Amino acid sequence: MKFKIYAQSPKDDDDRIILWYDNETNFLTKETGFVYEDPKLMAETSVNYLSVPFSKEQPLKKFKQVRTLKIQLGLSCNYSCSYCSQRFVERSDETSKKDVDGFMAKLENLEFNEKEGLNIELWGGEPLVYIKTIMPLVAALKKKFASWENKPRYGMITNGSLLTDELCDWLHDNQFSVAISHDGPAQHLRGPDPFEDPELKAVVLRFYRRMKPQNRISFNAMLNASNTSRKDIYDWFVDFTGDPEVILGEGGLIDAYDTDGLHNSLTTKAEHFAFRHKAFTDIYSTQGRIGFHGIKEKIDNFTRAVLAHKSSSVVGQKCGMDDEHTLAVDLRGNVVTCQNVSAVSTAMNGMPHLAGNIVNMDAVQVRTGTHWRNRPDCAGCPVLHLCQGACLYLEGEYWEKSCKNSYSDNVALMALSIERMTGYIPYAITADHLPLERQDIWGTFAKHEEEVEKEISIAKIVQQKTVVEDIEVFTNAKVMVA
């Protein structure tokens, strides 16, 4: 679909150009007919993955040849954070180290290729709640792949609260890459701040300084309606670590998985315009020195994709779980939609997240997701190549709110990329089907009437506690009905 883009010089408001952008062919063209392209990138680009549409009626298949294996240990966590994607997910019965041998036996039904490589990710909940299971599991995995010279790469995301010097030694020695979830200056909006404990803070900083030279650690922060500046987050972590080259992960606006997610999303048009402006300025004014390597890579990837004319036929989902070679499993061998759900939970479209078991990969079918091609508006969206369809299993008001968040986040990144290619900053992206607030990037050329938003009630959420592997954790959340 073609879009007409109006852009102006950052040095002269009267110096303006018109561009045309086709989100299917990924051609960016001046009104004069000049095409922005890089013959070298075009020659180097090879199509090795075609995006295959899927839906409830057209389920996603998975291959037994696996390149990324996400092992869901359980959803228990010692924290209960707001806008957590797992908080309301029904939990399976806990697994333990007793399940490791059975899991390893079932793993024989999958195929792994040393040349292609293998990523193994361990997920919670809080994964370190399951450390008594993780240690024998990793030992078994290392034994399985002992003959490989190109060893599997291990990773986990943790809230950091359970780290000790001994655990840090173990993670370091077993070649883990570790991301610590923390929202910097707005951590209090998310949940408790483990860094307020001086002893734990010292442990984390020692771990960071040890892992940073090997590029094996990051702090992962999310943006929300009350935490909109990547630069403020970067500045906070520079102060925390003393490192101006601090590595930050994630960095996108939250998706809305529950009422807290809705409440912490951008609401008014004014909020969306203000966020877009801040998102652009944070990166443009600092020449990208904001620590969020993934965000900068996203801009770089879009720029390269446009200059190479990489078509929408190869655009997969944002999370990568549509890749047939990426598998999320629990220790019972159950295949699930992604690492944030369980085998007993149900998706918003009414389908079970349980897709099958690795003992019979031919029967695995994921019916919980909707590919972006099967969403009403994605194919006609100018930021498709950046957004990549947002979360594949959200529906209804949660999808709509997440879509709005994602558009505002990614249109600012698109503007940064276009400025890099052309020297001009877009201020309007026009097409008959686009809502006016999406055409007017910064809210500067049209009058926008605020819509009456559905009031989001902050429900009373109840979470009881239990004990898993000697650690007190929260059970899945329930809304108290009056």
* pLDDT confidence tier of residue 31, bands split at 50, 70 and 90: very high
3-state secondary structure (DSSP) of residue 445:
coil
Paired with 391 in beta bridges are none
Rounded to whole angstroms, the Cα distance separating 225 from 2 reads 31
Please provide the average confidence, as pLDDT, over all residues in the chain: 93
Task: Kindly state the helix (H) or strand (E) to which residue 219 belongs, with its residue range.
Answer: strand 217-223
DSSP state of 271: H
Rounded to whole angstroms, the Cα distance separating 187 from 231 reads 15
Helices (H), 242-321: 259-263, 269-284, 293-307
pLDDT at position 457 is 58
Domains of the chain: 2-51+373-439 (no CATH), 68-292+309-369+457-479 (3.20.20.70)
Rounded to whole angstroms, the Cα distance separating 337 from 332 reads 15
* pLDDT confidence tier of residue 482, bands split at 50, 70 and 90: very low
- pLDDT, tens digit, 9 for 90 and up, residues 234-287: 999 999 999 999 999 999 999 999 888 999 999 999 999 999 999 999 999 999
- pLDDT, tens digit, 9 for 90 and up, residues 72-82: 999 999 988 88
Do 110 and 328 meet the contact criterion of CB atoms below 8 Å apart?
Answer: no
Helices 269-284 & 396-422 angle (0-180, nearest 10):
40
Q: Return the percentage of the chain with pLDDT > 90, whole number.
A: 85
